[in-house]
Amino acid sequence: MSFRIPDVPAKRIVVVGGGFGGLQLCTTLVKNPEFQVVLIDKNNFHQFPPLIYQIATAGLQVSSIAFPFRKMFAGSKNFFYRMCELRSVHTKERYIQTSIGKLSYDYLVIATGTTTNYFGNQKLQEESMPMKTISESLGLRNALLTTFERANTTSSPEERAELLNVVIVGGGPTGVEIAGALAEMRQHVLPQDYPDLDTSLFKIHLVQGGSRLLPAMSETASAAALKYLTQMGVDVQLKAYVHDYKQHEVILRDGRSFKSQTIIWVCGVTGRRINGIDDKFYGPGNRLIVDRFNKVEGLDNVFAVGDCALMKTHVYPKGHPQMAQAAIQQGKNLGQNFLRKEHGQILKPFEYRDLGSMATIGRNKAVADIAGMNLTGFVAWFLWMGVHLMSILGVKNKISTLVDWAWSYITYDKSNRTLIAVKHPKVILERNYEISMRHWGELSLEQAAEAERLTDTALKKSNDDAALKAQADLARNALKKAERLLNEIAAEDLARAQEQQKAQAQEQEQAQALSSKVQEAMANAKSQEQAQANAQAQAQAQAQADGQAQALEQEKAQEDAQAQAQESAQAQAIASRVQETLAKAQANDQAAKVAKSATQVIVANNEVAAAEAKTNVKKASLKQVKSSKRTATKK
């Protein structure tokens, strides 16, 4: 493999990276025969990052924001594009080493941008999904769509909740925009696509380390973004830092956590260090320190533009914002300076013209800080659309984007919801592997044979490595499976323990109920005993009272009997006196008869009185017997 680029008298400018900065530089220089422009990029297209989130949320098709370099520069005689990856820079010898070989330069421009910053957290790097490139956003779209499908079919409610719990880490423009787009998807798309899925389970958490969203924008913009997202049902967590992720749980530094299987990591970027460029040439954020002409300080003929360049100025002591406009303006100024230099003119130092910044949250909802104005709502949203539409390259792309947006605006639909996994044929996989093994350093002609041998050995080793890797993958999968099983067992154990706890609690409850019943019964018995004792006492008192009454009655009866006996004695005395009188008047029959009958009457009276007295005594003793019997029955 080689670059196959002709050697010509024109100065060769090698541009590494066809992003905003690199592309603008190429556009400025192309068609100027003083230079031969060679662009290398690992992708064969330029991408438009501001709309990447719309790929991830199925709003736009990839071709709307990706532009093939070869198409853009078709017909340019002094322009060459090569798809490869930069491996190292050799500044003394003025050449670069790439995945397809080496290439010499007169001027080298590094415009490699940045990569996602995980702040050294390996776990989150493996588990979360970044969204910095088109391929990453396609990966994210596939992951989201697969997640919805899985959530719809899983039989476990816990898994469904985890799948539908999305955690977005980073409250900058990207985090805010993806949160808003997902909230709109939840409202308008999911209920149509998944009528049998409870879409209210779809939760969106936006975790932001700082005290406000969109920290690079005005306070007005931050407050409006927070208001819009909250209205749209996004859970915004400010001053919250993601610390760890284990067993499907996102753990924040303050101990709070969310169960989730979908983490989107958009909380920062960092430059990439390049082999051959000493550490001393880098500033904070791994950015190459450049002067006002974008030349890397301390290195001859090496320049840097865009996100990877750190140009400290009076107004921007920490470097320019890592935004499209800074990259575009730097690329343009550097290109013009190359031409000025070639034409013997004075070089122009870079001056950044801040055109403002904006972010969209959803339909009719955006924020914009432009020309000293802080716009929000529909005006900002309309402006945002206009600016982005103008910035998209190519008329066809502008039209297709406009059509997609208009369609989505009218129908609330997002039409790019196909799940397409890329499958590479074996030949491509092998070729990619071979490329990844080759061209890692300078190879002299004398060393070619040795290199070939080494490469073959490396390839053989790589096969062995592949086998080892397969084994390792198997082991890792087995480990994961075992871990999952262990988790399941632990979950079952937990459920069992919970059930046991519940049963114990029930038993305890029953025992308590029983004991309170026993206590109640005991209290009842006691009160019954007490009542019995009271009744006994009462009965005794009654009996006593009854006894006294009977005694009185008996006494009275005896008194009556005595009185009657007295009366009868008196009557007997009278009768005997009468008899005496009768005896005295025996002669008189009449008198005798009268006396006789009187005597009979008196005797009869006496007998009656005696009989009555007897009856009264009997009655009194009968009453006493009855009363004694009653007392005995109560006891």
CA angle centred on 272, ends 331 and 166, rounded to 5°? 100
- CB of residue 73 vs ligand FAD: minimum separation in angstroms? 14
52/190 with CB nearer ligand FAD: 52
Contact criterion met (CB below 8 Å) for 380 and 366: yes
Query: Which of 221, 324, 368, 561 is the binder for ligand FAD (CB under 6 A)?
Result: 324
- CB of residue 340 vs ligand FAD: minimum separation in angstroms? 22
50/319 with CB nearer ligand FAD: 50
Query: Which of 86, 161, 290, 575 is the binder for ligand FAD (CB under 6 A)?
Result: 86
Report CA-CA distances (Å) from 189 to 186, 277, 591: 6, 49, 144
- Give residues 293-322 in contact with ligand FAD (rule: CB under 6 A): 306-308, 322
169/571 with CB nearer ligand FAD: 169
- CB of residue 325 vs ligand FAD: minimum separation in angstroms? 6
Query: Which of 14, 26, 52, 144 is the binder for ligand FAD (CB under 6 A)?
Result: 52
Query: Which of 18, 59, 101, 319 is the binder for ligand FAD (CB under 6 A)?
Result: 18
Strand pairing report for 365-370 and 373-376? antiparallel
- CB of residue 41 vs ligand FAD: minimum separation in angstroms? 4
Distance CA 82, CA 67 (A): 15
78/330 with CB nearer ligand FAD: 330
SS3 340: helix
| Alpha helices by DSSP H, 101-241 | 122-127, 134-153, 157-163, 173-184, 190-193, 219-231
CA angle centred on 280, ends 275 and 281, rounded to 5°? 70
Query: Under the criterion CB under 6 A, does residue 41 sit at the interface with ligand FAD?
Result: yes
Query: Under the criterion CB under 6 A, does residue 366 sit at the interface with ligand FAD?
Result: no
- CB of residue 173 vs ligand FAD: minimum separation in angstroms? 5
Query: Under the criterion CB under 6 A, does residue 335 sit at the interface with ligand FAD?
Result: no
Query: Under the criterion CB under 6 A, does residue 325 sit at the interface with ligand FAD?
Result: yes
SS3 257: strand
x-marked contacts with ligand FAD along 224-243 as a string, rule CB under 6 A: --------------------
- CB of residue 200 vs ligand FAD: minimum separation in angstroms? 28
Query: Under the criterion CB under 6 A, does residue 180 sit at the interface with ligand FAD?
Result: no
- CB of residue 458 vs ligand FAD: minimum separation in angstroms? 21
35/48 with CB nearer ligand FAD: 48
116/568 with CB nearer ligand FAD: 116
- CB of residue 501 vs ligand FAD: minimum separation in angstroms? 49
- CB of residue 133 vs ligand FAD: minimum separation in angstroms? 7
Query: Under the criterion CB under 6 A, does residue 277 sit at the interface with ligand FAD?
Result: no
**Which among 309, 254, 233, 323 is positioned nearest to 277, based on CA atoms?**
309
52/582 with CB nearer ligand FAD: 52
- Joined together, the tokens standing for residue 457 give 């050995």
324/367 with CB nearer ligand FAD: 324
Produce one character per residue of 555-578: b if its CB has 16 or more CB atoms within 10 Å, e if not.
eebeebbeebbebbeebeeebeeb
Query: Under the criterion CB under 6 A, does residue 327 sit at the interface with ligand FAD?
Result: yes
Query: Which of 5, 31, 34, 43 is the binder for ligand FAD (CB under 6 A)?
Result: 43
x-marked contacts with ligand FAD along 484-513 as a string, rule CB under 6 A: ------------------------------
Query: Quick one: how far is CA 538 from the chain centroid?
Result: 75
- CB of residue 468 vs ligand FAD: minimum separation in angstroms? 27
Report CA-CA distances (Å) from 49 to 136, 259, 357: 11, 30, 14
180/306 with CB nearer ligand FAD: 306
115/627 with CB nearer ligand FAD: 115
**Which among 327, 325, 324 is positioned nearest to 309, based on CA atoms?**
327
Query: Under the criterion CB under 6 A, does residue 170 sit at the interface with ligand FAD?
Result: no
Query: Which of 3, 34, 68, 85 is the binder for ligand FAD (CB under 6 A)?
Result: 85
18/165 with CB nearer ligand FAD: 18
- CB of residue 161 vs ligand FAD: minimum separation in angstroms? 28
Edge-to-edge order in the sheet of strand 257-259:
242-246, 249-252, 257-259
Task: Determine how many CB atoms are found less than 10 A away from the CB of residue 197.
Answer: 18
Query: Which of 100, 103, 229, 323 is the binder for ligand FAD (CB under 6 A)?
Result: 323
Widest CA span in the chain: 205
- CB of residue 76 vs ligand FAD: minimum separation in angstroms? 19
- CB of residue 42 vs ligand FAD: minimum separation in angstroms? 4
DSSP conformation letters of 388-444: HHHHSSSHHHHHHHHHHHHHHHHH--------------HHHHHHHHHHHHS-SS---
- Joined together, the tokens standing for residue 10 give 């024109």
Q: How far apart are the first and last CA of the chain?
A: 123
**Which among 412, 411, 416, 382 is positioned nearest to 400, based on CA atoms?**
416
Query: Under the criterion CB under 6 A, does residue 50 sit at the interface with ligand FAD?
Result: yes
59/173 with CB nearer ligand FAD: 173
Query: Under the criterion CB under 6 A, does residue 22 sit at the interface with ligand FAD?
Result: yes
Query: Under the criterion CB under 6 A, does residue 261 sit at the interface with ligand FAD?
Result: no
Q: Determine which helix (DSSP H) or strand (DSSP E) holds 104, and give its type and residue range.
A: strand 101-104
- Give residues 101-160 in contact with ligand FAD (rule: CB under 6 A): 111-113, 131-132
Distance CA 204, CA 186 (A): 9
State the DSSP code for 208. -
27/199 with CB nearer ligand FAD: 27
Report CA-CA distances (Å) from 72 to 129, 134, 273: 31, 18, 29
The residue number with the shortest CB distance to ligand FAD is: 19
Instruction: Give strand pairing partners of 86.
Output: 98
- Joined together, the tokens standing for residue 20 give 């905003």
15/582 with CB nearer ligand FAD: 15
- CB of residue 370 vs ligand FAD: minimum separation in angstroms? 12
- Joined together, the tokens standing for residue 108 give 């080298």
Distance CA 369, CA 567 (A): 138
308/595 with CB nearer ligand FAD: 308
216/594 with CB nearer ligand FAD: 216
613: which residues sit within 8 A by CB, 6+ positions away? 560, 561, 564, 565
**Which among 556, 559, 567, 558 is positioned nearest to 605, based on CA atoms?**
567
Instruction: Catalog residues that contact ligand FAD under the rule CB under 6 A.
Output: 16-22, 40-43, 49-50, 52, 85-86, 111-113, 131-132, 173-174, 306-308, 322-325, 327
